Structure 1
Amino acid sequence: MRFEGKVYRPWIEANSVLIQTTLGCSINTCTFCNMFRDKKFQIRELDDILKDIEDSRRHYRHVESIFLVDGNVMAVRTEFLLTILNKITQIFPEIENISLYAGFNDLRRKSVADLKALKAAGLTMVYTGLESGDPLVLEHIQKGMTADHAREGMARAKAAGIRVLASFIFGLGGKERSRAHIEATTALVNELEPEAIAPMVLALQPGTELEQEVARGEFTLATPLQVLEEEKYLLENLGEFDCYYWGDHGNNIAPMRGSLQQWRGQFLRRIEHEIATNPITKENIIQTFAW
């Protein structure tokens, strides 16, 4: 099997077989991210992808989950993706989950018929970077996405029956827009009602525009207390829709995960305990680690 450059997958997919379908990210302008700055976005040769799937069968006797990398695989044309999905289900008849990275813009650019075809071919979940619901934050990070784009993309995914995990970032509004960021993000998540969410704490990535803004004093990082208060607000104000809470990213102050509706009370008590007792709340800068 062949991989080019650095390869990223969600921590949730730690036990999945990885098949590199694209190189890099079709956006690659986000000011906080350096994941794919070493690559120019391109689609791998189909024959190479199919051969990697066949080679994987020789390495693994039983595969239940496959994740397609790199960034924004959903940007690939539907017929191309269908060929890959059909190959996977042919080679791995035991497969239960096939997932990939997809921007909300990628979802809204597909027709519902296309997305239903992908679902029928085996696609079960897409991982999307929501990042924030605050229009000023979204503009600042140069995501190339608006809240309306997210609404449209989510509506199409739901119509097709494809589950969505939406990730977003505590502290992305910095010290000044902490409250506005979490209020707008929570409100948008309540509209979207994704099947899963993965909130994580902002980490400055080396060489990014955001790191340079911090160095120039143009962006002030949120404090650990603000980050905890953002998570508290989120847990207090999320709706009653069914959702799995993947709040156990390595940079989170109080890592925890589980069914939101089942564990919300315990999650809230954990955050309130951290706010009341954790010495980190007295610090001005949160210490996080690059991806």
Structure 2
Amino acid sequence: MKKKMTVVIAFLGLFVIFILSNVSNKEDTITVSGGVTSESQILGNIVVELLQHYTDKNIVFLNNLASANLMQAAMERGDLDIASPRYTGTDLVGTLNLPIEKNPDKALKIVQKEFRERYQFEWFPSYGFSNQFTFMVTKETAKKYNLTKVSDLKEYATELNLGTDQTWYKREGDGYHAFTEEYGMTFKRVFPMQVGLLYDALVADKLNVILGYSTDGRVGSYDLVMLEDDLKFFPPYTSSLVASEKVLKENPELKTILTKLEGTIDTETMQKMNNQSDSELLEPALIARKFLESHNYFEEETP
């Protein structure tokens, strides 16, 4: 009987140790999300690398959260501490169910205020870029028609074929139909397709104009011309990271560390890093490390 009691006590002791170690590990762990795109993977790895450099915490990278909705749900459950790739336009409408705000500064202030009040999440200042829907042409087309802004297309639109993202073509609010009304133009034909195919079709002269993303790496590598959205039709998609107030309170040094990324990545830099991933096939973790090393991890210089 004593032997059985000893075994039971030993088992309970091991169980308690296991539970306590798990709690301890959880308290010592910070979870960071990336996503499924090159951009979100790179941003996630930048945050992970930065935290590993400045803290002794166990940083866990969750790189399978493919959308803002999944990241938001994980943060609300407490499974995710920091969502590295969040965009004002996406969360303003999709998460907060608020009207589109086309002024970038106002949109940022709204999401910061609403996320703090509704969810106790801190929406950080922008990395320094916005991943916008952007009309693009080749340099040859821009020169032929003297194109610098979207309105310049109006005179020639009925002669030109447009390629777009499949979902944007049917979307309400800021989709193709709303665009034609805002800009007062329609194209000869519109070809909805996967985003990855648009750029190759454009440089192969199978399309005259495409609607792409401003930070796509192929913008630079294909030397494309981005046309200014002069009527401000598209809402801003300013990129920032979001952290729970809980993890910031538990780790007071985090806010200062994460704020180091404010304004450090402009559109051209993000394009180049995306191209390194998509075209040169470099691992996002390596791209992130090289970026931080090139800036000495944003260490403050001592006099």
Q: Normalised by the size of structure 1, how large is the TM-score? A: 0.32
* Larger Rg over CA atoms: 2
With CA pairs under 8 Å and 6+ residues apart, which has the higher RCO, 1 or 2?
Answer: 2
